[in-house]
């Protein structure tokens, strides 16, 4: 793939491991899929890969390693054994790994680990900052480095930063258990794009961002000030062509024959995992045990090969798991073996890649049943290696790959009785069924291979950067403020529409508490007393309240989204042909929801009814609001009504009135040379759309809008209005 920018890849480990043999340094290449995929990138031009060299080295060796690796575009991070212990073994693998794989009881919460994690993340960030410029693409990988994006962002605010998480992102209910949940999210939100394997991970991440950090999202995008952060699913894959070629290789074919001899042409079930409690190894062995109990006729005719790649076995939990596996394998073999045959062939070591490929090829069934897995590449490698398209994949629903490999036999790994049944089903599946399923899965894996993954991620990152730039130009900064003020100054007949709640005052739990303060009254009064201005307050509130609060000011008012309006000095008028006979029925339905939703309140206006859920627990309010809208949707449309979804409120009103149609009454009077509208809510979109295109329309907040510009808060709105007037009066003086 050709990328015009310099790319800096950052991961916990480099794609090379430094080892020492009799005092001499050795560099061992990683065969991993990610390393192969990214090697096409990091080796190009002056691209770089930053990561831990994989071993503890002394000072005199550091210089040599840096020199040796720099030729290969690799930049090592050196970690002491104390750092490895706290950052890698401790916080990454002892705290984050179990929690993110839904084993919260295994998680260790230690301040010491956390401090080391922070320190090491800073160390990685410092190395990036030393070398990166704002034009480079910085691509950070995985849960060991969750704080790095924002640490880099602090030093290089404009940096292009992508983050990809290779393990699952747990649901909010699990993630919230972490004492450092907020800091970790803030770390990730330093990226421009945060990638996960599945859409479920994306949802979980966004839900945590909303509930813990308080940022809303729209279409998978979170907006923090003028920066958009996109969260998306990029299911990782394998180098499909490489696995096809491997399966066809002469060495693989020789291994294939040996395996067939070893299993005596029996049917073969394979399982390949790293030693880990997330892989469901014990449950799978139990399922196989049940299968053998249920099918004594297959004793001597089926063999299971369980390959376990050693991992972290110095950690007590892993050591214990290894011992339990040993015990269960012995138990099953002891229970069912007959002379010349044993049910499980167990390998506790890493196999050469050609042997692995041969296993994939020979296997009748691949049993891939993790309790949780971000993706699981073994399942995809198995599919790719099946040149003759015969063989069955039994795949856990809890693996990310189950979202793509839907033609596999999907199982719940906890349901060992069902897994036992599915083993039998798989071993007896007709060849044509096997071929149909395998063909479909091969199509998926070949279409979405590692190259596509890479390309999609990079394209999305650049797309987000373009959106950010557009957004930046829409955020009102000093120079835009000045431009608006000048345009204000140069005009003589201005019309200014202002929404009230969320635009001029902040939201309060009780709507009646949001009365205007004296500063606001002064501000509006000055604005409205300028004879060149026509100020229209356009609100969803009832007209009595607005009259009470603003009746004394020389302004015009639109109330209840246009159901009522008043030009200064005249009486309140209601829009024509409005009915209120529907209100009792709607209020009756709303009351039923009130009984199930603590914290809601109903606001009855003359021609509309609002259902407020600002005080309801986050999430529940939105759920009930969606249920309510769904329940009344037919009733509402049959009567020419509309269910407006505002900020924590659902308002039922006539569909013939809205702020936009109300604003037209003023616009049609004509003669204006300055149009401005400011609002925070989506009911204000109608006003924005009703104004001529050259108008200064401003959205308060971060949601997508038809407005030309953005301001962050009601304070910024007040500041802008003040500045316009100030500039105006200063200029007049001079």
Residues that bind ligand GDG (CB under 6 A): 31, 33, 166-167, 236, 272, 274, 307, 309, 350-351, 353, 356, 373-378, 381
CB 664 within 8 Å of CB 690: yes
Buried b (16+ CB within 10 A) or exposed e, 456-472: bbbebbbebbeebeebe
Least distance from ligand GDG to the Cβ atom of residue 309, Å: 4
- By three-state DSSP, how is residue 579 classified? coil
CB 374 within 8 Å of CB 166: yes
C-beta closer to ligand GDG: residue 351 or 727: 351
For the record, the structure tokens of 43 come out as: 């080796």
* Other residues' Cβ atoms within 10 Å of the Cβ of residue 539: 26
Using CA atoms in the order 456, 457, 458, 462, what is the torsion angle rounded to 10 degrees? Answer: 100
CB 36 within 8 Å of CB 61: no
- By three-state DSSP, how is residue 159 classified? coil
C-beta closer to ligand GDG: residue 101 or 541: 101
CB 88 within 8 Å of CB 112: no
Least distance from ligand GDG to the Cβ atom of residue 23, Å: 28
Report how far apart the first and last C-alpha atoms of the chain are (Å, whole number).
60
Least distance from ligand GDG to the Cβ atom of residue 373, Å: 4
Helices (H), 236-375: 240-247, 250-262, 281-294, 316-336, 353-362
Least distance from ligand GDG to the Cβ atom of residue 33, Å: 5
What would the DSSP string read from start to end of 588-651?
Answer: HHHHHHHHHSTT-EEEE-SSEEEEE-TTSPTTHHHHHHHHHHHHHHHHHHHTTEEEEEETTEEE
- Just list the catalytic residues: 499
- Residue 106 CB contacts under 8 Å (≥ 6 apart), including other chains: 98, 277, 317
Sheet holding 74-77, edge to edge: 74-77, 48-52, 7-13, 137-141, 160-164, 193-196, 227-233, 221-224, 217-218
For the record, the structure tokens of 204 come out as: 């979980």
C-beta closer to ligand GDG: residue 310 or 584: 310
C-beta closer to ligand GDG: residue 175 or 549: 175
C-beta closer to ligand GDG: residue 274 or 295: 274
- By three-state DSSP, how is residue 49 classified? strand
* Rg for the chain, CA atoms, rounded: 32
Closest CA to 659 of 521, 562, 544: 562
C-beta closer to ligand GDG: residue 307 or 366: 307
- Residue 290 CB contacts under 8 Å (≥ 6 apart), including other chains: 416, 417, 420
C-beta closer to ligand GDG: residue 153 or 372: 372
C-beta closer to ligand GDG: residue 44 or 350: 350
Least distance from ligand GDG to the Cβ atom of residue 31, Å: 5
Least distance from ligand GDG to the Cβ atom of residue 349, Å: 7
For the record, the structure tokens of 140 come out as: 């950070």
CB 532 within 8 Å of CB 509: no
Least distance from ligand GDG to the Cβ atom of residue 179, Å: 24
C-beta closer to ligand GDG: residue 262 or 629: 262
Least distance from ligand GDG to the Cβ atom of residue 215, Å: 26
What backbone torsions phi and psi does residue 410 show, to the nearest 5 degrees?
Answer: -90, 135
* H or E stretch covering 26: strand 24-29
Least distance from ligand GDG to the Cβ atom of residue 374, Å: 3
Least distance from ligand GDG to the Cβ atom of residue 437, Å: 21
* Other residues' Cβ atoms within 10 Å of the Cβ of residue 498: 23
C-beta closer to ligand GDG: residue 224 or 351: 351
Residue 213 DSSP class: I
């Amino acid at each position: 793939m050709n990328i015009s920018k310099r790319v800096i890849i950052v991961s916990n480990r480099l794609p090379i491991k430094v080892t020492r043999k009799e005092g001499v340094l050795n560099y061992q290449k990683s065969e991993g899929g990610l390393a192969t995929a990214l090697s096409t990138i990091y080796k190009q031009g002056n691209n770089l890969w930053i990561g831990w060299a994989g071993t503890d080295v002394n000072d005199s060796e550091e210089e040599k390693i840096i020199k040796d690796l720099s030729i290969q575009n690799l930049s090592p991070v050196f970690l002491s054994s104390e750092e490895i212990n706290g950052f890698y073994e401790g916080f990454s693998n002892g705290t984050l790994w179990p929690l993110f794989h839904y084993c919260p009881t295994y998680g260790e919460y230690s301040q010491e680990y956390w401090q080391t994690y922070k320190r090491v993340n800073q160390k990685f960030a410092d190395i990036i900052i030393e070398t990166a410029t704002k034009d480079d693409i910085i691509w950070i990988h995985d849960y060991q480095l969750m704080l790095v994006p924002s640490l880099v962002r602090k030093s290089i605010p404009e940096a292009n930063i992508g983050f990809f998480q290779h393990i699952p992102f747990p649901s909010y209910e699990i993630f919230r258990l972490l004492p450092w949940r907020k800091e970790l999210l803030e770390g990730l939100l330093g990226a421009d794009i945060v990638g996960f394997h599945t859409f479920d991970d994306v949802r979980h991440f966004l839900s945590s961002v909303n509930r813990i950090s308080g940022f809303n999202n729209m279409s998978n995008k979170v907006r923090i000030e003028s920066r958009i952060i996109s969260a998306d699913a990029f299911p990782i894959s394998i180098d499909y062509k490489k696995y096809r070629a491997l399966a066809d290789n002469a060495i693989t074919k020789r291994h294939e024959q040996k395996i067939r001899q070893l299993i005596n042409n029996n049917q073969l079930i394979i399982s390949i995992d790293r030693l880990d409690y997330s892989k469901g190894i014990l449950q799978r062995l139990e399922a196989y045990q049940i299968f053998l109990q249920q099918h004594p006729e297959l004793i001597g005719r089926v063999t299971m090969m369980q390959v376990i790649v050693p991992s972290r076995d110095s950690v007590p939990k892993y050591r214990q798991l290894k011992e339990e596996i040993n015990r269960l394998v012995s138990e099953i073999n002891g229970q069912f073996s007959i002379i010349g045959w044993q049910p499980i062939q167990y390998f506790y070591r890493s196999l050469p890649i050609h042997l692995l490929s041969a296993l994939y090829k020979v296997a009748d069934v691949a049993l891939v049943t993790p309790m949780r897995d971000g993706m699981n590449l073994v399942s995809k490698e198995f599919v790719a290696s099946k040149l003759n398209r015969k063989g069955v994949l039994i795949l856990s629903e809890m693996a990310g790959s189950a979202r793509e490999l839907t033609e596999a036999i999907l199982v719940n790994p906890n349901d060992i009785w069902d897994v036992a049944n599915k083993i039998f089903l798989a071993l007896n599946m007709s060849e044509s069924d096997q071929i149909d399923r395998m063909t479909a899965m091969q199509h998926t894996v070949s279409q979405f291979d590692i190259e596509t993954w890479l390309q999609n991620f990079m394209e999305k990152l650049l797309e987000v950067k373009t959106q950010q730039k557009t957004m930046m130009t829409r955020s009102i900064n000093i120079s835009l403020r000045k431009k608006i003020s000048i345009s204000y100054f140069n005009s003589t007949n201005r019309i200014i529409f202002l929404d009230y709640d969320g635009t001029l005052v902040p939201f309060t739990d009780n709507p009646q508490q949001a009365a205007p303060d004296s500063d606001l009254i002064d501000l509006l009064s000055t604005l409205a007393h300028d004879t060149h201005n026509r100020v229209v307050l356009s609100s969803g509130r009832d007209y009595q309240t607005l009259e009470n609060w603003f009746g004394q000011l020389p302004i015009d008012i639109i109330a209840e989204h246009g159901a009522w309006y008043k030009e200064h000095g005249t009486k309140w008028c209601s829009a024509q042909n409005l009915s209120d006979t529907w209100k009792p029925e709607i209020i009756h339905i709303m009351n039923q929801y009130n009984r199930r939703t603590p914290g809601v309140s109903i606001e009855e206006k003359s021609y509309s009814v609002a259902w407020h859920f600002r005080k309801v627990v986050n999430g529940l309010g939105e759920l009930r609001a969606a249920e309510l809208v769904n329940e009344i949707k037919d009733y509402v449309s049959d009567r020419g009504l509309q269910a407006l979804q505002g900020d924590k409120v659902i308002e039922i009103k006539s569909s013939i009135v809205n702020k936009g149609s109300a604003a037209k009454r003023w616009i049609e009077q004509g003669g204006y040379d300055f149009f401005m509208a400011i609002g925070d809510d989506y009911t204000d979109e109608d006003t924005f759309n009703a104004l001529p295109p050259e108008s200064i329309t401003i959205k308060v907040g971060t949601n997508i809008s038809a407005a030309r510009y953005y301001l962050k808060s009601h304070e910024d709105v007040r500041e802008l209005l003040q500045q316009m007037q100030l500039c105006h009066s200063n200029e007049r003086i001079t």
